[in-house]
Amino acid sequence: MDDLDALEAQSIFILREAFNKFEPLGLLWSLGKDSCVMIWLAKKAFLGRMPFPAIHLDTGLEFPEAYAFRDRYSKEWDLDLIADDCPPLEEVDPSLPPDSRLAARKSLGLQQAIDRYGYKALITGIRRDEQATRAKERVFSPRGVDNSWDFREQPPEFWDQYNTDFPPGTHVRVHPLLHWTEVDIWRYIERENIPMVPLYYAKNGERYRSLGEMGITLPIKSNATTIAQIITELDETKDPERAGRTMDHESEDSFERLRTTGYL
């Protein structure tokens, strides 16, 4: 068993716990590399068929390549796809900086999906190494009634005994990739040959390292056209993964504010 096998086994264990304990359950599919890896792992966990829906919070602002990818692989992967439109910008907290407001539409879309379909728990592809506030997450992370995250009062979680019983009204985020790193993700994509949105691979000297909406996601300079080249590039870079996500950097606490109010 090598280290990727160990990561895979741990994620499958988490996905199976979630499926056993929460109903209805959904998986948030951003179309990005992490959530695609997560769907792959779910297909492994449940022997080829993901037994809960893949939810795409659609802002209408994804790249055309991302939409094409969604349409193709929701069929090829036999997904039960839910892709409702997020509420319009006018409904977002006007005190947020402009790009964060765009991103906050997803938080509203998420709340809308929870209200509409009654999900007890949602599986998301966040990782501890992505961003400092995400480093503090639990694998099974409870949210309050208003979907808020109280990072100061988190339940203990050890020996793979995840908290799965919560008071009524609690909504739970499940994080099967929390212990993976960006390089782990790419090594696994390479090993498993998992299809990805082509924007991750360099074209005309640029590629997207982290994929969000058009207008608030910037490409990085790169000549990496293969996964091996991407991994070499990541090994050498000291730039953070989400440097191209403009809303993280608008103000010192913008990403933290997004997260405590329900953003992924």
Partner 1 sequence: MGTEIKATDIKIKERAFPIVIVGHIDHGKSTLIGRMLHDTGSLPNGKVEELQSSCDRRSAPFEWSFVLDSLQLERDQAITVDSTQIWFHTETRRYVIIDAPGHREFLRNMVTGAANANAGVIVIDAEQGVSEQTRRHAYLLHLIGIPQVIVAINKMDLVDYSEDRFKEVEAEMTAYLKEIGLDAQAMIPVSAANGENLSRKSYKMPWYTGLTVTDALDAFPRVAAPVERPFRMPVQDIYRYDGRRLIAGRVESGQLEVGSDLTVWPTGRTAKVLSFESWATPKEKATISAGESVALTLSDELFVERGHILTLPTAGPRTANTLSVRLFWLSKTPLQRGESLTLKLATAEYDVVVESIDTVIDVDDLSRGRGHEVIQNGVAEITLRCRSNITYDLFYDLPALGRAVLIDGYQVVGGCIIEGGADVETASRNLTAVPQSVSSDERQVANGYPGAVLWMSGLSGAGKSTLAMALQRELFNRNIYVYTLDGDNVRNGLNRDLGFSEEERDENIRRVAEVAKLFADAGMIVISAFIAPTNAARAQAREIIGDRFHEVHISADMNVCESRDVKGLYAKARRGEIEDFTGISSPWEPPENPDLEVNTGELSLDDSLGKMVRYIEQRVLQAKDKAISSNH
> C-beta of 207: minimal distance to partner 1 in Å?
16
Among 31-39, 90-98, 127-135, 212-220, which window interacts with partner 1 (CB under 8 A)?
Answer: 127-135
Q: In angstroms, what CA-CA distances link 138 with 76, 166, 173, 178, 260?
A: 32, 14, 9, 8, 14
The interface region with partner 1, picked from 61-69, 105-113, 117-125, 234-242 by CB under 8 A, is: 234-242
Q: Is 184 in the site for partner 1 (CB under 8 A)?
A: yes
* Comparison of 13 and 67: residue with beta carbon closer to partner 1: 13
148 φ/ψ sector (left φ>0, alpha ψ -120 to 50, else beta): beta
183 binds partner 1 (CB under 8 A): yes
**Residue 218 found at the interface with partner 1 (CB under 8 A):** no
| Min dist. Cβ of residue 227 to partner 1 (A) | 7
CA distance 137 to 121: 15
Binding status of residue 238 toward partner 1 by CB under 8 A: yes
Question: In the complex, which residues of this chain contact partner 1 (CB under 8 A)?
Answer: 1, 3-10, 12-13, 16-17, 19-20, 40, 43-49, 128-129, 132-133, 135-136, 138, 151-152, 154-159, 161, 163, 165-167, 179, 181, 183-184, 186-187, 190-192, 227-228, 231-232, 235, 238-240, 252-253, 256
